[in-house]
Structure 1
C-alpha cells in the first residue's frame, strides 16, 4: 500500500492571495499607463492596500514588475520546452532562435513598461528568466555545433528592454523590421546541411 505524501509547503492565506492579486492587477494598469516611473505609494493606493501590506510582499517597484513579467515569461518558457516547432523542440537551431526572437519581440511589444521596470541595466542578468533564456540560446548554439561560450549573451543582447525601446520609440522601427533583423542574426546558427 502506498503512503500518501503530505503537502508541507506553506499555503497562502486567502486574504494574502486576494491582496497579491489586487497589487498585481493595479501594477499592470499603472505600468501600462505610466511606465516604470510608478512609486510604491501609487501602487498601494491603486491596489487599495496599505503600504505595509505592499512592502511585506514586495520591497520595491522592480520586484513587482519582476513578479508581473514572470507570469508572461513562464508561458513562453513552456512553449520553448514543449510547444510545437519551430518555437518548441523539433526545428533546427536557427529556426528555433528565429522563433524565439519573434516571441520575445511580441512579449516586449506588449509588456515593455514591465520589462523596463524589471530588467533595467545589470538587473536584467540577475532574473531567473535571463538564466532560462541564456540556457535555451546556449543549447541552440551547441546544437548548431558552434563552440563559442560568449555567443549566447551576444545573441540575447538585442533583446534588452532599453535596446527595444530605442528601436521602437526613438528609431521608429516597426515590429516586423526588428523581427526580420533578428532573424538575420539567428542565421549565425544555420547548419550546413549539404
Structure 2
C-alpha cells in the first residue's frame, strides 16, 4: 500500500495578542511535528538527518519569524514560540470575561467555556489569594481603555496590586502623550510660530 503524502504545514501567521493565538499555535505545532516525523520516516539510511530547525523556520510567516530570529536550536525555537503564544493567565481572563453572543445557543456558549477552561492552569490557593485573583480579573474586565487592558494582559502572573499600579502608570503615560499632542497642535495653530522657533530673533 502506497504511503500517503503529507503536505507541508501552513505558515504561522496569527498575532500573539489574538484571543485564538494559543489554540491556533497548539494545532500548528502539532502539524509541524507530524510533518517532521513524516520526513524522518521517509528518509533512507544513507540520507542526511532531517534538519528540524530549517523545517520549523520555513513554516513561520515573516511576521512570526522575528520572535525566533536569534534562536538557534529546534527545541529552543519551540520553547520561545510557546512562551509567546501560549499565555495561560490570559486564558483565565478570557474564560471569566466570555459572554454569550447574540446568535449563540446556550449549549454552544457552554461548550465554548469548557474549551477555554481546558487551556487554563488552575492551582490551589487560599481564600484571600482567590479573592484577589477574582478582584484582579474583574478590574481588568471593567477597564474602559482597551489599550490598557491589552497591555496588562501581555504580562503574566500579575498580582492585584501590580495590575492596578501598571494600569495607573499606563493611564498617566496616555495623559502625558495627549497633553504633548495638544501643546504641539496649539503651537502649530499660531501663525508664524514655527518660523519663529526655527529663526529666533537675534
TM-score w.r.t. the length of structure 2 is 0.27
Q: Which one scores higher on RCO, CA 8 angstroms, separation ≥ 6?
A: 1
TM-score w.r.t. the length of structure 1 is 0.28
Higher Cα Rg: structure 1 or 2? 2
